[in-house]
Amino acid sequence: MADKRKKWEDEPEEKVSAGGDDVVAAADAHAELEAEAKKPEPKAEAAPEPKKTKAIKPAAIVAWFQTPADLYKACEALRDAGYKHFDAHTPFPVHGLEVAMGLRPSILGWIVLGGGFTGIVSAFGMQYWMSAVDYPLNISGKPLASWPAWVPIGFELTVLLSAFACFFGMWALNGLPKFFDPVMQHTSFDRASNDRFFISIEAKDAKFGKGRAMLEKLGANDIEEVLP
């Protein structure tokens, strides 16, 4: 753990020498200013000073780790300590993290099943009604309700409606689009989509008060409270 911390401390200098034009890789002090300038929300809300938090209650406490392994251990520790409302923010899905966080599997599959069922029923219903009821079409003397010929369109609409259910269902479950979230105010949160592994504990968690101490103990970097 100790030498890993050393590594990230060294990191900004390496970055600057590697590519001076890179905004993200700029030195930490610089990065703070940059991040403030880049955020779409008013500057006043970004990067609150700890003393201000007495006036307005913070929404969450946010910090970051250098590696997926550190994040994984931290999530396990929070889960074991009884935290419920905490989250990880990573540039890619860290496999198995849901186990470390104690999350339940996604229910998306059931939504898609609903979509697919709607698709197949409506496809056969539509084809039956259109070609056998509303305007019966005699094609080469075949039966009006000739279901084998309806299989291709039945299949396609099943897939189409499943895909729509999957797409919209996923964003709905995630509550997206949502263009602002308190955790985005962390000074280096722009690297959550690059190379840092963030952890956040929401204020509504019963153990939120002990959160900072907990994260400090876990060796998290830049522990910050963010306003709603």
Partner 1 sequence: MSVVVRDETAIELQKDEIGRAPLILGDKQTFSTVTDTVAGMTEKKPPKAWPLLLGLAFSVLMILGASLTRLVGWGTGTWGLNHPVGWAWDITGFVFWIGIGHAGTLISAILFLFRQKWRTSINRAAEAMTIFAVMAAGVYPAFHVGRVWLLYWVFPVPNQMQVWPNFKSPLLWDVFAVSTYMTVSILFWYVGLVPDLATLRDRATTKTKQMVLGIFALGWRGSHRHWLNYEKAYLILAGLSTPLVLSVHTIVSFDFAVSVIPGWHTTIFPPYFVAGAVFSGFAMVMTLMIIVRKVYNLQHIVTIRHLENMNKIMLATGSMVGYAYAMEFFIAWYSGNPYEKFTFINRAFGPYSWAYWTMVSCNVISPQFFWFKKIRTSIPIMFVLTIFINIGMWFERFVIIVTSLHRDFVPSSWGYFRPTIIDISTFVGTFGLFFFMFLLFIRFLPAIAIGEVKGVMPAADPHAHDDHGPEGDGHDAHGSDDKHDKHDDGDAEAAHG
Q: Binders of partner 1 among 21-80, rule CB under 8 A?
A: 22-25, 38, 40, 66-69, 71-72
The CA-based dihedral angle spanning residues 200, 40, 35, 46, taken in that order and rounded to the nearest 10 degrees: -60
- Residue 54 CB, shortest distance to partner 1, in Å, is 27
Q: Which is nearer to partner 1, 62 or 223 (CB)?
A: 62
Stretch that binds partner 1, among 45-53, 94-102, 207-215, 217-225 (CB under 8 A): 94-102
Q: Is 163 in the site for partner 1 (CB under 8 A)?
A: yes
Task: Report in angstroms how near the CB of residue 166 gets to partner 1 at its nearest.
Answer: 5
* Least gap, CB of 139 to partner 1 (angstroms): 5
Under the binding rule (CB under 8 A), the answer on residue 110 touching partner 1 is no
Closer to partner 1 by Cβ: residue 53 or 146: 146
Binding window for partner 1 (CB under 8 A); candidates: 51-59, 85-93, 201-209, 213-221: 85-93
R_g of the chain computed on alpha carbons: 26
Contact status: 212 vs partner 1 (CB under 8 A): no
Would you say 49 or 92 has its CB closer to partner 1?
Answer: 92
